[in-house]
Structure 1
Amino acid sequence: MAGPHTETPAGVDRSERFLYTTLGLLERSRLDMILPHEHVFVDLRTPDQPGYARADETEVVAVMAPRIEEIKERGVTALVECSTVGVGRRADIDLAVSRATGFPIVVPTGSYREPWITPFVREAEDDALEAWMFGELTERFDEADYRAGWIKLSAGDDGITQLEERVLRAAARAAARTGAVIGSHTIRGRVAMQQLDIIEQEGYSASRFIWIHTQEEPDLSFHDEAVSRGAWIEYDHVSRSPDEDVKSLILQALEKGYGGNLLVSHDLGWFDPALPKGGNQRPYTHLSDVMLPLLKASGVDEETLGLLTMENPFRAFARPA
């Protein structure tokens, strides 16, 4: 079921790769199940709103640590935080939750789409955007002293804007220098294909792109095209859509031989500072408790389940030291 992830960007040594986390670099041998798309802290207000991304760290830890403990009990060994700049990324709060639970979290650099783009990203020159992302990948976050694990972006539903394209091109250049994966919240298949074109124009590989929310594109020919180009497709709606629908989509992908290019997660959590007590958090447990048993009952073998939940997330997000 392995997919076509065989390309290596020029100048990047892929002989040894690690997951870059809040608790340092982790080898594959130290990890089992990884959730590739979740949120610990999110603020979906635009950055110009009063109180944006502000919260009491102690309160966030008190609310989110029990959610982390739930998945630790189920054998989950790492989680990918998908809140980027523009939607309230707080790498410092992610670190606090991680330290309180002894649980590694993979946190992104990068920027969300318009109108959530911050003044810095909007006003920065192209070289400055690349340098910012490269610096967070190789040195430290602006708000916390550890390194970003990947690049998270987004694109408008009707097409990528000029500013979003600038950010993507800068991200591709920073990623090519580090081996980092680029993931993008992209709803429309034609926009995802446009993003792949841009990444390749910048000299990076489509195999280092994750099409986040692939399930939102009903035309499965776009899923086929993304995989044929080597990209990751991500079905991140476990427990947010009917189980039978999610299971059917995963099974179709496996039947087509896309197991090596497929990521599966919930897109849940999270502490929202715009709501009292952070809102109503939803657990990260449905994949373990419900979806994996459903897939197994449908004939998916243990090796394939391990590919989806362990091998693929590591291959997608790991990069050289």
Structure 2
Amino acid sequence: MAQLHTTLGPMQRDQLGLILPHEHVFVDLRTPDQPGYAQADAADVVALMAPQIEAIKAQGVTALIECSTGGVGLRVDLDLAVSRATDFPIVVATGNYREPWIPDWVAAASELELERWMVGHLSEGVDDTGVIAAWIKVSAGDDGITPLETKILRAAARASAQTGALIGSHTIKGRVVLDQLDIIEAEGGSANRFLSIHTQEEKDFGLHREVFARGAWLEFDHIGRAPDADVVALVTRALQVGQGERLLLSHDRGWYDPAKPGGGTPQPYTHLVEHFLPALREAGVTDTTIAQLTQDNPFTAFAR
């Protein structure tokens, strides 16, 4: 039976409702060689981010996917602290971001070493937290995937093939997504375990259709950051061509930023439930379809 690995342990579909599939609790967008990179006190992170979690709990949200990865401040210990303080499951990733956010050790590691590192996180837990990563987060350059990013993706594809874990990639260009799918399949992975993050940034809808036809998942993750009418139009167009079965919706918001005093000012995760879902209903999207997009699809994508 499929389970979603979270900071509060594995959960089954009937234990969860609405899931936000692309958010951040903690991110550091400085490169890993910068002084103070990814450093913060757990109590400070909890103080800033717990109220954001409590706000979505009150809306009926039941889990959140943490989309930070290696290179941009993945701190599973901090996710765990926030999760325990709020009694709220957070889903974490393994993997690494694109250049120039690749630590020296990742650049120097072999594909086999990276594969074993990811499999360890996906099967035994991330570092000493005891939290099992549910999925693999990677990225590729806007103009094409580099050799170093390709090495990481090949390792991710083999780790995915072994564990069934989803690979999600921050990739802006649809043509680059298609290149990534070729690499994954060449390494024994499957396109249906790939998520095209930030799909909305590719303006050619024909490329959305090509990526979906390969079997991959699509994600519109700028809700609350773009006009609702524009995103409603994206979603309804996707539904009209049958993409609802593998479509995810989220905000890409948060987060505690250690580069800013006090962690900065977080952006709430509440817009989808408060404003966007009512706008979808007004556009004629049924409650059954909304449940698929916000409950069934996120679980199916990230569970294994």
Q: 1:123 aligns with which of 108, 125, 144?
A: 108
Q: Distance in 2 between matches of 1:242 and 1:297?
A: 15
RMSD: 0.6
**1:155 matched residue in structure 2:** 140
Q: Which letter does structure 2 place at the counterpart of 1:69?
A: E
Q: CA deviation at 1:203?
A: 1.3
Identical aligned residues as a percent: 62
Runs of at least 5 residues in structure 2 that lack an aligned partner in the other structure: none
* TM-score, normalising length: structure 2: 0.99
Q: Distance in 2 between matches of 1:119 and 1:99?
A: 32
Q: CA deviation at 1:218?
A: 0.4
Residue 61 of structure 1 pairs with residue 42 of structure 2: no
Q: Distance in 1 between matches of 2:236 and 2:99?
A: 34
Q: Distance in 1 between matches of 2:266 and 2:173?
A: 27
Give matches, 1:171-182, under 5 Å. 171-182=156-167
* Secondary structure of the corresponding residue to residue 210 of structure 1: strand
Q: 1:311 aligns with which of 279, 282, 296?
A: 296
Question: Structure 1, residues 28-84: CA drift from partner, whole Å, max 9, x if none?
Answer: 000000000000000000000000000011010000000000000011000000000
* Secondary structure of the corresponding residue to residue 17 of structure 1: coil
Give matches, 1:46-125, under 5 Å. 46-125=31-110
Runs of at least 5 residues in structure 1 that lack an aligned partner in the other structure: 1-15
Q: CA deviation at 1:284?
A: 0.3
Q: 2:258 aligns with which of 235, 259, 273?
A: 273
Q: Distance in 1 between matches of 2:189 and 2:30?
A: 32
Q: Distance in 2 between matches of 1:143 and 1:236?
A: 31
* Secondary structure of the corresponding residue to residue 73 of structure 1: helix
Residue 293 of structure 1 pairs with residue 293 of structure 2: no
* Secondary structure of the corresponding residue to residue 73 of structure 2: coil
**1:4 matched residue in structure 2:** none
* TM-score, normalising length: structure 1: 0.94
Q: Distance in 1 between matches of 2:55 and 2:239?
A: 28
Q: Distance in 2 between matches of 1:276 and 1:144?
A: 26
**1:241 matched residue in structure 2:** 226
Q: 1:167 aligns with which of 123, 137, 152?
A: 152
Q: Which moved more, 1:255-264 or 1:140-149?
A: 140-149
Conserved? CA contact 1:90–1:143, under 8 Å = no
The count of residues paired between Structure 1 and Structure 2 equals: 304
Q: Which letter does structure 2 place at the counterpart of 1:135?
A: G
Q: Distance in 1 between matches of 2:74 and 2:159?
A: 19
Q: Which letter does structure 2 place at the counterpart of 1:56?
A: D
Q: CA deviation at 1:143?
A: 4.6
Which contiguous aligned blocks of 4+ residues in structure 1 show a shift greater than 4 angstroms? none
**2:29 matched residue in structure 1:** 44
